[in-house]
Amino acid sequence: DIHMTQSPPSLSASVGDRVTITCRASQSITTYLNWYQHKAGKAPKLLIYDASNLEAGVPSRFSGSGSGTEFTFTIRSLQPEDIATYYCQQYENLYSFGQGTKLEIK
C-alpha cells in the first residue's frame, strides 16, 4: 500500500500570506494526486486534481505541483474563508490520504 506523508500537521498564517503544504508518497504515484479542502460539518471539496489541475470554480490563488513522490499545494494569498483542513490523496494504487494540515489564521 502507498503511504502519504503530509506536512506540516498544522499551520498558522496571516491573511495575505503565502501558504505551502507538502505531500510525499512512499512510492511513485506519477501525478495521481488530488488535494481537498475540508471544513467542519461539510463534505471535503476537491480543489486540485491530477496534481496540478485547478477544479472548476476554485479560486486561482490555489495551486498544486509535483510528480513522482513529491508534491506541493500552495495558497498564494491566504483569505479568511480558507480556514479548513487540507488533505492530499493518492489514487495510483487504491486510495490513501495524507494526515491533513489544519490551517488557522494568525
Partner 1 sequence: QVQLQESGPGLVKPSETLSLTCTVSGGSINNSYWSWIRQSAGKGLEWIGRIYTSGATNYNPSLKSRVTMSVDTSKNQFSLRLTSVTAADTAVYYCVRWSSNGYYRKHYFDSWGQGILVTVSS
Only one of the segments 21-29, 59-67, 68-76, 87-95 lies at the binding site for partner 1 (rule: CB under 8 A); that segment is 87-95
| In the complex, least distance from residue 6 CB atom to partner 1, rounded to whole angstroms | 8
- Residues in 25-54 at the binding interface with partner 1, rule: CB under 8 A: 31-32, 34, 36, 38, 43-44, 46, 49-50, 53
Q: Are 71 and 6 in contact (CB under 8 A)?
A: no
Strands 10-13 and 101-105, sheet pairing: parallel
- Per CB under 8 A, does 96 bind partner 1? yes
- Per CB under 8 A, does 85 bind partner 1? yes
Distances (CA, A) of 43 to 31, 87, 97: 24, 12, 15
Match 491530477 to its residue by C-alpha cell.
50
Only one of the segments 16-24, 61-69, 75-83, 86-94 lies at the binding site for partner 1 (rule: CB under 8 A); that segment is 86-94
* DSSP code of residue 26: S
**Sign of the torsion angle spanned by Cα atoms 70, 21, 23, 71:** negative
Residues found near partner 1 in the complex (CB under 8 A):
1, 31-32, 34, 36, 38, 43-44, 46, 49-50, 53, 85, 87, 89, 91, 94-100
